[in-house]
Each structure stands twice: as C-alpha cells, then as structure tokens.
Amino acid sequence: MKRLIVNSLAAAALAFVFTPGLASAQQPDAAAKQRAREEANKVRAEVDAGARNYREGNFEKAVEHFRKALELDPDHKTAPLFIARALQDQYRPGDASPENVARGEAAIEAYRQLLAKNPLRQDAYSAIVTIYRQMRNEEKVRETVLERAGNAALPVPERARLYTSLVSEDWQCANKITEHQDNKETAPQGEKPNEKAAVTYKMPADSNEFYRARQCVQRGLEVVEQALALAPQNPQAWSLKSNLLGESAKLAQMEGDASQKESFENQAKEAFAEHQRLTGGKNVVAGAQGEQNAGPNRPPIAGGIINGKAVSKPAPVYPQEARDAGAQGTVTVQVVVDEQGAVISAEAINGPQLLREAAVNAAKQARFSPTLLSGQPVKVTGLVTYSFVLQ
C-alpha cells in the first residue's frame, strides 16, 4: 500500500511538472492561428476596398488596394484578375495619346501575367485581343491569335478555328479589293439559259491596292496550310483555301498572266472538290470566278440587335467575382450567326469587364432563326444584350 501511495504521488508530481509545458507549447499554435486570421482579414479588407472603389469608378485606387491584397497574399486567386480589369477600365478606346496607350499596355501586361500562370485562360486572351482591336493595332491582334493557335495545350478544334478566323479576314481583305466595281468589268449575260456573265478583273488605279490584296492572299494561304496541317479534315479550311486561290486567279488576270490565272483556278477547283467531299456536297462555297455571294464564307450581312430572333437564349451565369465586386449592368455581345442559326463567333464590345466573359459564353450557346436573303439562308452579324442585376 505504501508503495502504491508513493507511485501515485510521483505521477501527480510529474503531471504538475509537465502540464504547464504542454500549455506553453499550445500557446504559439494558437498565436499563429490568430495571426493568420488577422492577415486574412487584412487581405479581405483590401479586396473589399478595391471592389468598393471599382464600383465607384475609382479604378486607380482599386488597383492600389488589389495590389496590396496580392502583396499580403501572393497566392490570392482573384486579385490578379481584379487588377487587370481595373487597369483595362482606365483605358479609353479611341484615345491615341501616349498616356492612354500606356494604360492599355499595362492592362495587356496584367492579362499576360494571368496567361503565364494558366495559358488556357480564355478571359485573359479575349481581353488582350479586345484591347489591341480598340487600339486598332491589327498586327498585334494577328500576332496574339497566332500565338494562341500555336498553343498545343488547346483543343485542336479551337486552334483550327483560330487559324481559320485569320484566313477568313485575309480572304475578305483581298475580296474587298478585287470585287470593287472599279476593278472589274462584267460582260453582258449570254443568251443561253443559266449562262453566267463573264467577269474580267483589271488592275486597280492605285497599284498599292493590288499589292495589299496580294499580301492578304499570300499570308492567308500560309495560315490555311497551318490549319490544314493541324486538322486536314476541316471543311472550312478547304473552303477558305479555295476562296484564296480564287483571289489569286483574279490577281493573276489583273497582271495579264493567263497561264497563272488558269493554274490558280484549277487549284481552287481541287480545294473546292475536297471541301465538297468532306461535306457531302451540302454547301456551296466561293470559287475562282468571283462567286463569293453563293458561299458560306462571304461577309455576313448586318442584322442589328437580334435578341428578338433568338430561338434559344440561355441566361448567363453571374460570376461570383463579379458579385463580390458589386458589378452589374448590361453587356452587348457582337455575334456572327451561320446559315443554320448557330453562333459561330462572339465578342463582348461593351459593358462591365467582370461580366463580359459570362455574356460571351451565354451568347455562344444561343440559337437564332435563320436569316434569308432572296430565299436563301445567309450568315448575319448582330448584337445580343445581357442584363446583370444584383439581387
């Protein structure tokens, strides 16, 4: 019994000795948690202050607060995007002053930093293209699109779409010149039924226009080969190649080179045949004789605001970051709708930056009644609006 009492007293003594030590070991852990909570509150306070200034249009102050939040928490998920968009909202489209251009470049750099962390970010890429377009710097737009199209991490269909979007612009650049009324002569229509009037293309009065058309064709043909190397079964790429070769034939005729004209016409027919093979002959495309008005790749006609023509117009998802920043308002999206009523391209042209990507994503899912011209379905470009209201 005596030994049992001694052991109990020894255990009590040990407990007395070590318990304070255990408490003191727990104190630093509790203090660290408290400091972490305080730091998190500071970050939140800076983000809230940035969002408040953003809502009030004080974009410079907003950038200061968002940058402070990022300094406190370098891994903050949304602060870099808030910085980029607040910088973008300081840029004024149409103002070519060095100070304003510098604002645009600063926004572009902020978006590039986002892409450096995640090359697949569509919002950052779209914002860069939008700013360059607003700057009317088409070479930078092209450079950015080509860089994006060359990103092997992107899905192949998306990369092919980017390539063909550039090729389509090149074709339209050349076609606008070759089909100008001053640059062609149309002979009277023949007496035979369905006999087409002969068209002769002649050198523009301003030779610079000729060389511009040739440049557009040459670079378009280079890019369409990149598209076909990536996706050889892409019918749109073959259609565009046929169109560009048709433009080459027109330019050859302008120079008086009948042999080259015939060669390009034959190549255009071969590309056209491949397009028909891939599509089962369902679509008629522009050939080498200026039949651009018959094909799906002609410039779309303008349709104005086309909300009322929507057969299906899914509501956009309200981004949480936009809710946190108190962003609301109307976003206008410019869309191109194909002959079947599907949206084939969409770009936000105004509205709060934090809401634009959501509006574009919704627009891409919309469907519209086909637009008819002389009884035939045609592409149309129009505007779709989306309203975001905080509840």
CB atoms inside a 10 Å sphere around CB 60: 11
Confidence tier at 31 by pLDDT (50, 70, 90): confident
Mean pLDDT of the chain: 83
Per-residue b or e along 355-373, where b marks 16 or more CB atoms closer than 10 Å to that residue's CB: bbbbbbbbbeebbbebbee
For residue range 252-292, list pLDDT tens digits in order. 999 999 999 999 999 999 999 998 888 876 543 333 333 33
Higher model confidence: residue 230 or residue 197?
230
State the Cα angle at 54 between 52 and 55, rounded to 5°. Answer: 65
Higher model confidence: residue 94 or residue 189?
94
Q: Note the pLDDT of residue 219.
A: 96
Q: Note the pLDDT of residue 177.
A: 93
Higher model confidence: residue 366 or residue 4?
366
Q: Note the pLDDT of residue 270.
A: 94
C-beta separation of 274 from 221 below 8 A: no
| Separation of alpha carbons 361 and 317, rounded Å | 9
Query: Does pLDDT of 80 surpass 60?
Result: yes
| Separation of alpha carbons 284 and 268, rounded Å | 13
Q: Note the pLDDT of residue 328.
A: 85
Tokens of 71: 């300094």
Stretch among 49-63, 162-176, 361-375 having the lowest mean pLDDT: 361-375
Polymer length in residues for the chain: 391
Query: Does pLDDT of 387 surpass 70?
Result: yes
Confidence tier at 296 by pLDDT (50, 70, 90): very low
Q: Note the pLDDT of residue 55.
A: 86
pTM of the predicted structure, to 2 decimals: 0.67
Higher model confidence: residue 275 or residue 83?
83
Which among 284, 295, 287, 285 is positioned nearest to 264, based on CA atoms? 287
Q: Note the pLDDT of residue 325.
A: 82
Higher model confidence: residue 223 or residue 298?
223
For residue range 325-340, list pLDDT tens digits in order. 888 888 888 888 888 8
Q: Note the pLDDT of residue 260.
A: 95
Q: Note the pLDDT of residue 189.
A: 56
Stretch among 103-112, 161-170, 175-184, 305-314 having the lowest mean pLDDT: 305-314
Q: 3-state SS of the chain: helix, strand, coil percent to 5?
A: 60, 15, 25
